[in-house]
């Protein structure tokens, strides 16, 4: 991977002397960015561009070229790669567009390219990308012209879109944050985000990784890389559009839409999600300070208004402004004219014009063990205080190093002044107290999450599953999903608490069931046809007599005949009607990128209107199962001693673990939906379930 970022020599293929030639921008950019290695051009006509020779064939290139950048028509690329392979070039960036992103039929071209790459052991970035920028070496391969406006620093970026790069660079430039490396991955034919992430996490020059992704194909691989990283990983996932969830067959699928799964997965891996590009600067600044290791802040402001706004923002973001300790008050009193300043948090220093007093107050605050960070808001006219501020900043930087606590410096002055400060210093500078508080909150919540994630390891038990596989065989062979009684059977085999039931095809069987299990009972239609419908009126509740069973059985059978539901696998499930209780739903599905996920919630209005469900990647362990239960906001409402009573939480936990095991061990199961599990103070019953095969 290193040769993509630190090549000693680069060949740019597709250049010409013409002004309109795009590939010449690649050469131009490398020169503009100060690339120190050798550059060679390859084009149809010999000549020179910007002092670089143009070769007319690849074989005439000197030996030992590390990296080739190709910008020639799509059809020509496989051939060029073959020639490159022959002279031993193994690292290739293909910038040409017009592949599968434009027309799915062009996948053939991509397959051809991959074949060549395999033959010559070549690794590819692209196609349809801008390639690599490395601020350290001056490598800059985009085919659009770039200027070296950003400073060099520790942020490395993986972007699926080239165009978004300018947005990110513009944010870095205006915040005064330094870029380390940038890679535009395009169609990700070979090298993808997971591999690049792993490279950046190991790269000593990279301190923070930011990813812009439109899809996340190797989800698990990506997470594995992210999971144990100590470097902050920021992710902007675009393409969030809702799936047509109304057409989904199971609840689980409708609730766990792609974006919800991405959310759960990125959270599981301890990454920071960026939701708007304009919030990137704030998040990056958060990680250019020591972490906020607890929620307690002291706000020191020179304007009452900003103090109020900061306090509001703290409340909203879950940070605290504890009252000033009397020890701190005593120290402040010595320095402040306490008859004008009220010693409270937020501390409004309105009438103080002495910058040394600000510094003293900040340091005293940081010295308090129970205080985890300081928000300092300074409103000032630059033409009066510019020099004071410049004298102050090195102290703020020094304090942060010494106390290993963040000082979010918020300077309210003219835009020009802030621009100058950001050019002169590397201190992160905030321009509103809300932005500063939000950055501190990002830091705090990330620090907390990382700590939680560290104590937990993921594992799962494997159940003996041969019996289940037997149950899955028939439906799988007949290419249909499981009928109700088959789904319930899978659950029974796995030790789920299923309410007693039996699949029956005549009245006698049904009556015998009631004789064994007693009344009341429920009858439910079973048919292949019904499988395809998400809602059907095929249930009779609360049957209390044998004659009632007979009547219901015959009626339902007639109905099935009338509606054409009486195929060869028709029948009824007779089930013991269990007492009412608190209903919950649980399920699992396979996400195309992240694999198995488990879903849990109260169902009904809570799931559908309030989206109050917990989603996590399988496998679950006990801690994660318990976290899921806690995460559902509507749950505490029935944990108290109110009229509904407690429910058996242990049972939910066990069922969640069993669901997780099922989806992890049974390759054939695509979706599993338990709806509802009826809960009591002790125990509970599953009365309906649906299993969909791949």
User: Which residues 284-323 are close enough to bind a second copy by CB under 8 A?
Assistant: 302-306, 308-309, 311-313, 315-316
| Min dist. Cβ of residue 638 to a second copy (A) | 8
Of residues 312, 282, 80, the one with CA closest to residue 175: 282
The reply to whether 424 sits near a second copy by the rule CB under 8 A is no
CB atoms within 10 A of CB 327: 11
Q: What are phi and psi of 295, to 5 degrees?
A: -85, -5
The least distance separating a second copy from the CB of residue 330, rounded to whole angstroms, comes to 21
Figure out which of the listed residues 434, 591, 653, 671 binds a second copy, where binding follows CB under 8 A.
Answer: 434
Residues 200-219 that bind a second copy (CB under 8 A): 212, 214
- Which residues from 463-482 bind a second copy, rule CB under 8 A? none
CB of 303 to a second copy, least distance (A): 3
Spell out, one character per residue from 41 to 80, where the chain touches a second copy: x when CB under 8 A holds, - when not: ----------------------------------------
Q: Exactly one of 180, 229, 252, 431 binds a second copy (CB under 8 A); which one?
A: 431
Nearer to a second copy, 21 or 494 (CB): 21
Q: Please, what's the b/e burial string for 168-191 (b: 16 or more CB within 10 A of its CB; e: otherwise)?
A: bbebbbbbbbbbbbbbbbbbbbbb
**Closest approach of a second copy to the CB of residue 86, in Å:** 32
> Which is nearer to a second copy, 146 or 496 (by Cβ)?
146
Q: What minimum distance in Å lies between the beta carbon of 164 and a second copy?
A: 4
Residues 95-114 that bind a second copy (CB under 8 A): 97-98, 101-102
**671: closest CA among 244, 251, 245, 268?**
251
Residue 276 in contact with a second copy, rule: CB under 8 A = yes
Helices then strands, each counted (H, E), the chain = 24, 29
Q: What one-character-per-residue DSSP string does 204-237 give?
A: TT-SEEEEEES--SSHHHHHHHHHT-SS-EEEEE
E-only strand ranges, 390-443: 407-412, 429-430
Spatial separation of the C-alpha atoms in residues 19 and 638, rounded to whole Å: 72
The residue (of 4 and 212) whose beta carbon lies closer to a second copy is 212
Report, in Å, the least distance between residue 45 CB and a second copy. 23
- Give 22 or 449: the residue with its C-beta nearer to a second copy: 22
- Closer to a second copy at the Cβ: 166 or 478? 166
How many residues are present in the chain? Answer: 694
Question: Which is it for strands 571-576 and 521-526: parallel, antiparallel or unpaired?
Answer: antiparallel
Site for a second copy contains 357 (CB under 8 A): no
Q: Is 144 in the site for a second copy (CB under 8 A)?
A: yes
Binding mask 325-344 for a second copy (x = CB under 8 A): ---------------x-x--
Residue with tokens 């318990």: 626
Q: Shortest Cβ distance from residue 459 to a second copy (Å)?
A: 33
SS3 category, 679: strand
Helix, strand, coil abundance in the chain, percent, nearest 5: 40, 20, 40
Give the footprint of a second copy on residues 360-389 (CB under 8 A): 379, 381, 383-384
Query: Smallest distance, Å, CB 389 to a second copy?
Result: 14
- Rounded to a whole number of angstroms, the minimum distance from the CB of residue 140 to a second copy is 13
Phi, psi of 503 (to 5 degrees): -85, 125
Q: Which of residues 593-632 bind a second copy (CB under 8 A)?
A: 604-605, 608-610, 612
d(CA 655, CA 281): 43
Q: Which residues within the stretch 241-270 sit at the binding site for a second copy (CB under 8 A)?
A: 241-242
Question: If we measure between CA atoms, which residue out of 620, 693, 519, 639 comes closest to residue 264?
Answer: 620
How many residues bind a second copy, per CB under 8 A? 73
| Beta carbons within 8 Å of 102's beta carbon, 6+ residues apart | none
User: Counting contacts by CB under 8 A, is residue 640 touching a second copy?
Assistant: no
CB 692 within 8 A of CB 670: yes
Residue 276, φ and ψ in degrees, nearest 5: -135, 140
The yes or no reply on residue 149 touching a second copy (CB under 8 A) is: yes
With respect to a second copy, which residue has the nearer C-beta, 231 or 419? 419
- The C-alpha angle 159, 162, 166, rounded to 5 degrees, equals 95
- Nearer to a second copy among residue 41 and residue 281 (C-beta): 281
Site for a second copy in 152-181 (CB under 8 A): 159-164, 166-167, 169-170, 173-174
Q: Is residue 36 part of the contact set for a second copy (CB under 8 A)?
A: no
């Amino acid at each position: 991977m290193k040769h993509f970022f630190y090549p000693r020599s680069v060949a740019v293929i597709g250049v010409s002397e013409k002004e309109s030639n795009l590939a010449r921008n690649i050469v131009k950019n490398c020169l503009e960015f100060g690339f120190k290695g050798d550059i060679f051009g390859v084009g149809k006509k010999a000549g020179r561009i910007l002092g670089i020779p143009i070769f007319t064939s690849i074989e005439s290139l000197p030996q030992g070229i590390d990296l080739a950048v190709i910008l020639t028509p799509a059809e020509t690329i496989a051939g060029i790669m073959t020639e490159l392979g022959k002279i031993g070039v193994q690292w290739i960036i293909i910038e040409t567009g017009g592949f599968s992103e434009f027309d799915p039929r062009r996948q053939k071209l991509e397959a051809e390219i991959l074949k060549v790459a395999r033959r010559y052991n070549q690794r590819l970035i692209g196609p349809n990308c801008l390639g690599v920028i490395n601020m350290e070496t001056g490598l800059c391969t985009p085919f659009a012209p770039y200027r070296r406006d950003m400073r060099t620093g520790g942020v490395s970026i993986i972007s699926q879109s080239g165009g978004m790069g300018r947005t990110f660079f513009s944010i870095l430039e205006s915040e005064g944050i330094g870029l380390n490396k940038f890679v535009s991955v395009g169609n990700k034919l070979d090298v993808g985000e997971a591999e690049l992430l792993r490279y950046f996490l190991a790269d000593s020059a990279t301190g923070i990784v930011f990813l812009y992704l439109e899809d996340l194909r190797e989800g698990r691989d990506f997470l594995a890389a992210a999971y144990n990283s100590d470097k902050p990983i920021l992710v902007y996932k675009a393409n969030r559009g809702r799936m047509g969830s109304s057409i989904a067959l199971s609840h689980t699928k409708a609730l766990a839409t792609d974006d919800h799964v991405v959310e759960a997965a990125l959270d599981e891996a301890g990454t920071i999600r960026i939701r708007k590009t304009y919030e990137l600067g704030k998040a990056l600044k958060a990680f250019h300070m020591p972490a906020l290791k607890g929620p307690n802040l002291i706000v020191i402001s020179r304007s009452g208004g900003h103090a109020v706004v900061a306090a509001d923002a703290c409340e909203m973001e879950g940070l605290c402004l504890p009252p000033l300790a009397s020890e701190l008050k005593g120290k402040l009193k010595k320095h402040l004219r306490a008859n004008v300043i009220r010693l409270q948090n937020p501390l409004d220093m309105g009438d103080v014009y002495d910058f040394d007093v600000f510094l003293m107050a900040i340091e005293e605050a940081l010295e308090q063990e129970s205080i985890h960070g300081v928000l300092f808001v300074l409103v000032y006219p630059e033409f009066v205080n510019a020099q004071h501020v410049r004298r102050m900043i090195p102290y703020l930087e020094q304090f942060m190093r010494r106390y290993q606590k963040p000082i979010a410096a918020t300077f309210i002055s003219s835009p020009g002044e802030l621009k100058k400060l950001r050019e002169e210093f590397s201190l992160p500078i905030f321009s509103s107290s809300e932005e500063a508080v939000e950055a501190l909150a990002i830091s705090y919540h990330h620090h907390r999450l990382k700590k939680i994630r560290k104590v937990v390891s993921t594992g799962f038990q494997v159940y003996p599953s041969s019996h289940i596989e037997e149950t899955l065989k028939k439906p799988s062979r007949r290419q249909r999903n499981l009928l109700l009684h088959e789904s319930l059977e899978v659950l029974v085999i796995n030790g789920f608490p299923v309410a007693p039931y039996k699949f029956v095809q005549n009245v006698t069987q049904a009556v015998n069931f009631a004789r064994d299990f007693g009344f009341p009972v429920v009858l439910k239609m079973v048919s292949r046809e019904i499988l395809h419908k998400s809602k059907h009126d095929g249930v009779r509740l609360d049957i209390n007599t044998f004659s009632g069973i007979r009547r219901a059985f015959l009626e339902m059978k007639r109905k099935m005949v009338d509606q054409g539901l009486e195929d060869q696998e028709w029948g009824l499930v007779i089930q013991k009607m269990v007492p009412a209780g608190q209903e919950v739903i649980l399920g699992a599905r396979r996400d195309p990128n992240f694999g198995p996920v488990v879903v849990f919630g109260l169902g009904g209005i809570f799931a559908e209107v309030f989206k109050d469900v917990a989603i996590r990647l399988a496998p679950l362990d006990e801690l994660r199962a318990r976290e899921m239960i806690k995460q559902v906001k509507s749950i505490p409402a029935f944990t108290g001693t109110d009229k509904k009573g407690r429910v058996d939480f242990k049972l939910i936990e066990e069922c969640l673990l069993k669901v997780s095991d099922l989806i992890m061990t049974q390759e054939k199961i695509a979706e599993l939906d338990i709806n509802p599990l009826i809960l009591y103070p002790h125990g509970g019953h599953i009365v309906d379930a649906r299993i969909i095969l791949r």
